[in-house]
């Protein structure tokens, strides 16, 4: 049985699938050629990440397809309900990349409070001629310890962010429409752990009380953070979006940064991927990464192994 991992899969995932008798193909087929390739090569399972889409048209055109798998959490690039209505299995790996995304959030936060996003641009240009000037410009950093971290969306990834925040001494608050409280377990290096119960609060409370906000919500029809939401945040607060593109009104974000309502933003996902707006890319108060939240070696191994386990259970 042939599986096309069109956006790639870890070697550990390939090995696990191969050991269970599957033929794993890892060539990257262009979206417009995907239907023909699937049908010509009798592909039974299509594995994607964020680059490849599996919409109604592809599902209808590939009657031999039995499973669509997403290596990651969000499945907005797959017509999930329609695929299921046609009898296809649709799977994802919601737990595998949580820790990696959470660490990237803190990469943006630590880089933001110490101006690394800007100093890494300026030092190559001015470090030799204006060292003292740059030192003065970046000498007003702050610590994360003791500050309030607001998490909007308190699922698996939000709770992983909370663990790190608690570990570095932050006050962690959260908002979630579907959850009243969660027990977050902070694990220590020696095997000990500390459970912390966090009760969710209203969105308005989180916006008003947070020094830093991290978004962990799925893609949706409307913006989660718009101009009104920015106006409710503390002056000089900061925000990180390592969730999905389109959950922040990017025009309102730039305006909030320009007016000093926000001190900085961290962006890993964008409305117009893979061509983010130039105003975001060139802004001197935005820390930028190209949608790499789950892109660690460890996360990719976990994703591949989890996909392999689910596929073997469903199709073998």
Task: Give residue 73's pLDDT.
Answer: 84
In this structure, are 107 and 159 located in the same domain? Answer: yes
Choice among 244, 250, 283, 305 that is catalytic: 244
Calculate mean pLDDT across residues 56-62: 98
Local structure of residue 234 (DSSP, 8 states)? P
Domains of the chain: total: 2
152 and 272, same domain (yes or no): yes
Q: Which residues pair with 173 in a beta bridge?
A: 150
Sign of CA pseudo-dihedral 28, 32, 35, 36: negative
124 lies in the same domain as 263: yes
At 216 the pLDDT is 97
Q: Between the CA of residue 278 and those of 184, 190, 204, what are the distances in Å? A: 38, 46, 31
Give residue 7's pLDDT. 94
Do 153 and 302 fall within a single domain? no
Say if residues 154 and 182 touch (Cβ distance below 8 Å).
Answer: yes
Torsion-angle region of 236 (φ positive above 0: left; ψ -120 to 50: alpha; else: beta):
left
Give the model confidence (pLDDT) of 152-198 as tens digits.
Answer: 999 999 999 999 999 999 999 999 999 999 999 999 999 999 999 99
In the chain, the DSSP E strands lie at 2-5, 23-25, 43-48, 67-70, 89-92, 148-152, 171-175, 181-187, 193-199, 212-215, 237-241, 262-267, 286-288
- Region 108-122: what's the mean pLDDT? 97
Res 220: pLDDT: 87
Dist CA 43 CA 4 (whole Å):
7
Question: What pLDDT does 95 receive?
Answer: 87
Cα–Cα distance for residue pair 253/241, rounded to 1 Å: 11
> Is pLDDT above 90 for 219?
no
- The DSSP symbol for 77 reads T
Residue 279 predicted with pLDDT over 90: yes
Amino acid 184: pLDDT:
97
Task: Say whether pLDDT at 232 is over 90.
Answer: yes
* Distance separating alpha carbons of residues 169 and 275, to the nearest angstrom: 37
Task: Answer yes or no: is pLDDT of 254 > 90.
Answer: yes
Name the nearest CA neighbour of 219 among 92, 73, 104, 68.
73
pLDDT of residue 94: 87
The residue from 126, 271, 273, 277 that is catalytic is: 273
pLDDT (tens digit per residue) in 17-52? 999 999 999 999 999 999 999 999 999 999 999 889
Same domain, 119 and 214: yes
Residues 223 and 282 in one domain: yes
Identify the domain containing residue 74 by its residue range: 2-94+297-315
pLDDT surpasses 90 at 102 = yes
At 295, list the tokens: 């892109």
Catalytic residue, chosen from 70, 156, 291, 302, is 291
Question: Quick check: is 89 catalytic?
Answer: no
Same domain as 263, residue 120 = yes
Residues 42 and 36: their CA atoms lie apart, in Å, by 10
Residues 86 and 217 in one domain: no
Residues 89 and 105 in one domain: no
**CATH number (domain holding residue 29):** 3.40.50.720
Pair (59, 15) in one structural domain: yes
Indicate if 121 and 265 belong to the same structural domain. yes
Active site annotation includes 291: yes
Q: Are residues 180 and 270 in the same domain?
A: yes
| 244 in active site | yes
């Amino acid at each position: 049985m042939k599986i096309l991992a069109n956006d790639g899969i870890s070697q550990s995932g390939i090995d696990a699938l191969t050991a269970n008798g599957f033929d794993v193909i890892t060539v990257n087929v262009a979206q417009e050629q995907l239907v023909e390739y699937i049908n010509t090569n009798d592909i039974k399972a299509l594995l994607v990440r964020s680059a490849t889409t599996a919409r109604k048209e592809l599902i209808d055109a590939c009657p031999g397809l039995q499973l669509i798998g997403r290596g990651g959490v969000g499945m907005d690039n797959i017509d999930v309900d329609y695929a299921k209505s046609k009898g296809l299995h649709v799977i994802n790996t919601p737990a595998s990349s949580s820790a990696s995304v959470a660490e990237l959030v803190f990469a943006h936060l630590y880089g933001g409070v110490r101006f690394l996003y800007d100093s890494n641009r300026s030092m190559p240009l001015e470090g030799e001629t204006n060292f003292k000037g740059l030192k003065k410009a970046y000498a007003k950093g702050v610590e994360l310890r003791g500050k309030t971290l607001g998490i909007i969306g308190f699922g698996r990834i939000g709770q992983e962010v909370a663990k790190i925040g608690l570990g570095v001494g932050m006050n962690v608050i959260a908002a979630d429409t579907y959850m009243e409280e969660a027990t977050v377990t902070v694990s220590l290096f020696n095997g000990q752990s500390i459970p912390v119960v966090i009760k969710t609060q209203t969105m308005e409370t989180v916006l008003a009380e947070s020094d830093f906000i991290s978004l962990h919500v799925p893609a949706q029809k409307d913006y989660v953070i718009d101009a009104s939401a920015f106006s409710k945040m503390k002056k000089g607060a900061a925000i990180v979006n390592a969730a999905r593109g389109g959950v922040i009104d990017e025009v309102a974000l730039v305006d909030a940064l320009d007016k000093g309502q926000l001190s900085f933003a961290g962006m890993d996902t964008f409305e117009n991927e893979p061509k983010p707006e130039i105003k975001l890319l060139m802004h001197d108060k935005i820390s930028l990464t190209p949608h790499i939240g789950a892109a660690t070696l460890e996360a990719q191994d976990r994703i591949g192994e989890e996909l392999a386990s689910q596929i073997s259970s469903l199709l073998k």
